[in-house]
Structure 1
């Protein structure tokens, strides 16, 4: 398993378990390929947080956005 960069781990450390469960798989995917950063979307509905790789974000960075 690939180790998460410090920026990703620090982000996770500041989140609730619900958010961690939702976004950690995408952070692991980003760490595995080390090519893209992650965009985290805050949805106001029942879907909660969603994350996806974003090729416009450098690896190791997280951008938060609102849907």
Structure 2
């Protein structure tokens, strides 16, 4: 397995365990492919933080949005 880029590690370190558990699988997916970055959205309500690999974001970068 590929190691997470520094930006991903820093992002995880700055989040609560709950958020980290929600987004970590997507960060690992991005690191495995090494082709695209990750978009993280926050939805107020029960869904909370969600993440997906985004083709418009360069690998190793994270973009946060409010959905």
TM-score, normalization: structure 2? 0.98
Cα RMSD after superposing both structures: 0.5
* Distance of 2:42 and 2:51 partners within structure 1: 9
Paired position in structure 2 for 1:21? 21
Deviating beyond 2 angstroms after TM superposition, the runs of 4 or more aligned structure 1 residues are none
Q: Which runs of 5+ in 2 are unaligned?
A: none
Aligned length in residues: 67
Task: Report 1:36-55 matches (<5 A).
Answer: 36-55=36-55
TM-score, normalization: structure 1? 0.98
Find the residue that maps to 2:25 and give its secondary structure: helix
